[in-house]
Amino acid sequence: MGICEGRVAIVTGAGNGLGKAYALELARQGCRVVVNDLGVGTHGEEGETKGAAERVVDEIRALGGEAVANTDDVAEWDAGERMVRAAIDNFGRLDAVVNNAGFVRDRMFFTCSPEEWDAVIRVHLRGHFCTSRHAAEYWRSQSKAGRPVDARIINTTSGAGLQGSVGQSAYSTAKGGIATLTLVQAAELGRIGVTANAIAPNARTRMTETGAFDMDAKDGAFDVYAPENMAPLVAYLVSDQSKGVTGQVFELKGGEIFLSQGWTDSPAREKGARYEAAELDQVVRSLLDTREPVKPVYGAR
């Protein structure tokens, strides 16, 4: 028996890469899975990987697991409800939503078009909202009916969202918003038995192939950037073993796992009265000199 035996999860963007690795690992751990994938490319091109969700379902069934395919657009409001309904109709319940779907449009900020900005924000931020919102409504109804709830939301942020990435202003903004959304979900939904956590993977995917990332596997060495390295944490967070773990952002790279500390306050400079504008340069530079070192923006020189 795996650690997710009896659980039911939705995994979005599960036709390739990380999402596929998550869905397969969840199935190996005994979870029944709604495999969502729209079948688009890394920039949202329609039809590039059509049938991907169905192929992953076939792989899960070949392993002896249970899964159904869903090909909805995660950023469509009604699609989130259909995914939740697919879990309930096919498996009788829903225990977890793994929000993974997304794409990237690499652009320097001064060349990013409104259409590119909106497309990236939509698939990541709205996409995380729609499915989780319908799931939360279902879990709340279960709680109000007196049924015990032990449910999970696992969101996908990124190092780009936690510290920024040159050439990815829209993507970084969306992923930063997802990290904050996770904190709010954890605070609001804990009272009804739902935990919310986010992961920031370091893995080789179709999206990383569009940028200047050296993530090739080295002969004879541990494949640090294999998507499968990220999957065990997702399975753990979906499982009942992770009960009480909430409001956290996990970063992973190969066999390394750590928590993001988030924004923290430096020691204050207190005057006891309103500052004058001319005084602030010295105060600000004192704060900068004594603050904890920060991780640099990806790609910054």
Check: CB of residue 213 under 8 Å from CB of residue 166: no
One of 22, 132, 172, 175 is an active-site residue; which one?
175
Other CB atoms within 10 Å distance of the CB of residue 89 = 10
Contact 7, 30 (CB under 8 A): yes
Is 50 an annotated catalytic residue?
no
Catalytic residue among 20, 22, 132, 158: 158
Q: Rounded to an integer, what distance in angstroms lies between the CA atom of residue 122 and that of residue 201?
A: 20
Q: Residue 42 and residue 60: Cα distance in Å, rounded?
A: 24
Tokens of 82: 């259909």
What DSSP string runs through 170-220? HHHHHHHHHHHHHHHHHHHHGGGTEEEEEEEEE---TTGGGTT---PPPTT
Query: For this structure, is 158 an active site residue?
Result: yes
For the purposes of burial, counting CB atoms within 10 Å of the CB of 266, is it exposed (0-12), middle (13-18) or buried (19 or more)?
A: exposed
CB 181 within 8 A of CB 175: no
The catalytic position among 20, 132, 165, 171 is 171
Question: CA angle 18-19-20, nearest 5°?
Answer: 90
Helix or strand (DSSP H, E) at 35: strand 32-36
Catalytic residues: 158, 171, 175
